[in-house]
Amino acid sequence: MSNKTNNFPADFVWGVATSAFQIEGASSADGKGPSIWDSFCAKPGAIADASNGDNACQHYQRWAEDLDMIAALGVNAYRFSVSWPRVQPAGSGAWNAKGLDFYERIVDGLLARDLQPHLTLNHWDLPDALQATGGWANRDTTQRFVDYALGINARLGDRLASIATHNEPWVVAVLGHEAGIFAPGIKSRKTAAQVSHHLLLSHGLALRALREQGVSAKLGIVLNLAPMHPATDSAADRAQATLEDGRLLRWYLDPLFKGAYPADVLADLGDDAPQIEPGDLQSMTAPMDFLGVNYYSHSVVSADKSYKAGSTGLPVTDMGWEVYPEGLTELLLRLKRDYPVPPLFVTENGGAFKDEMVDGQVHDSDRLDYLARHIEAVAEAMRQGVNMGGYMVWSLMDNFEWASGYEKRFGIVHVDYQTQQRTLKDSALWYRDFLQAQKTL
């Protein structure tokens, strides 16, 4: 693979990313409360391989070995999330000292290895106790989230490089509350719209509260974004692509950066539109220090409901997502063009592929190629003037891929779930060499 990429600034943030539920295991250890994903996994048929997060990668026990592995990759940053029910088992009130101690070990362990800690507060594992009172559909959960954010900042904030409030609010709202294929498994467009509103509101309220408390970490949010491309040039397909662009991108970006929901999406929602209280939209525009972008693919949109995704002829990953690095450059340029964005970080990018372990090696040339081409797409956006702060691979290691269970592997490190042995795949070795070359350029 050629390395034509370059000219990344010396202080560019290079990382690998994970999330708590997907790697930690120890689902009821040391006082941790259940999360909505613990409960969702127990529903028959919810998870492809009927698995759960009880053990996952046993990162809760193996964290020191894992941090050594991250350091050995030569990255300068690690993105992880805190399990809210591990640190505050009921989602309000009492804190769990052992849970907080765990994240303190992670943060101090990262700093000891010269790695920047980038923390996400909500990577989906809401305390079950809060779901019992309505979860994200209940406006009161926004206040519970503010308290949680303040507690984490009080304990860890002085050592964090960044705090992201939410990971991918679209996934929580739409996959969790409209499609119902992710926790908590609700199927209501109206509920989903209210949930998205409360996620954005809680983000803004948390930012304001954190700034008042005093914060040294950079503050932002992480969105999953994809350019929407009409399947054909027909007026119907183009109109559908515009609406999908509204649902996935503008629904989140417009309130965050312009203080208003997009009119076309509001009109499409009709009676399902969220209840908005005076001041809500104002709260959502709290200034951010960074915007996290998770990019996997573009979306091809058709007005024809029988259209099958992944049929453009482009190669697809094991998730069925088309490999389309040009879409990342396009997306980053669009963000710069349409919004007053702070520095952008690619907070997730990577691919699931069918890996084969042969003689202790994983020759994942498809993943290696995927990463190299997407890093080049970031470089291209930078050449065209986009202010990029960093890039993080999803994921450090194979892990619990939500409704797909352990069948889909996104890691640049292979995990043998029988032995919990970690093995660097070719993509990890390539990333390490690529980063080493960056340093000596």
Please give the positions annotated as active site: 168, 348
DSSP string, 354-414: ---EETTEE--HHHHHHHHHHHHHHHHHHHTT--EEEEEEE-SB----GGGTTSS---SEE
User: 8 or 353, CB closer to ligand PNW?
Assistant: 353
Residue from the set 142, 153, 162, 167 that interacts with ligand PNW by CB under 6 A: 167
* Tokens of residue 166, six digits: 């939410």
C-alpha span between 423 and 60 (Å, rounded): 18
Q: Where in 125-282 does DSSP place strands (E)?
A: 162-167, 218-224, 228-230
Q: Is 394 in the site for ligand PNW (CB under 6 A)?
A: yes
- Three-class SS of residue 166? strand
Determine the residue with CB nearest ligand PNW.
224
Q: Is 401 in the site for ligand PNW (CB under 6 A)?
A: yes
Q: Is 168 in the site for ligand PNW (CB under 6 A)?
A: yes
Cα–Cα separations (whole angstroms), residue 318 to 71, 335, 404: 28, 28, 11
Q: Is 171 in the site for ligand PNW (CB under 6 A)?
A: yes
291 in Cβ contact with 338 (< 8 Å): no
Q: How far is the CB of 217 from ligand PNW (least distance, A)?
A: 20
Q: How many residues bind ligand PNW (CB under 6 A)?
A: 11
Q: Which helix (H) or strand (E) holds 236?
A: helix 235-245
Q: How far is the CB of 402 from ligand PNW (least distance, A)?
A: 6
Q: Which one of the spans 26-34, 60-68, 167-175, 284-292 is the region binding ligand PNW (CB under 6 A)? A: 167-175
Q: How far is the CB of 125 from ligand PNW (least distance, A)?
A: 10
Residues 9-68 that bind ligand PNW (CB under 6 A): 19, 22
Q: Which one of the spans 84-92, 111-119, 166-174, 383-391 is the region binding ligand PNW (CB under 6 A)? A: 166-174
Q: Which one of the spans 130-138, 165-173, 235-243, 333-341 is the region binding ligand PNW (CB under 6 A)? A: 165-173
187 in Cβ contact with 131 (< 8 Å): no
If phi > 0 it is left, if psi is from -120 to 50 it is alpha, else beta; for residue 114 that is left
Q: How far is the CB of 350 from ligand PNW (least distance, A)?
A: 7
In one-letter notation, the amino acid at residue 249 is: L
Q: Is 348 in the site for ligand PNW (CB under 6 A)?
A: yes
Q: Is 398 in the site for ligand PNW (CB under 6 A)?
A: no
Q: Where would I find the H helices in 10-95?
A: 20-23, 36-41, 59-73, 84-87
Q: How far is the CB of 436 from ligand PNW (least distance, A)?
A: 27
Cα–Cα separations (whole angstroms), residue 252 to 43, 48, 247, 257, 313: 30, 30, 8, 9, 30
Binding mask 354-373 for ligand PNW (x = CB under 6 A): --------------------
Contact footprint for ligand PNW (CB under 6 A): 19, 22, 167-168, 171, 224, 294, 348, 394, 401, 410
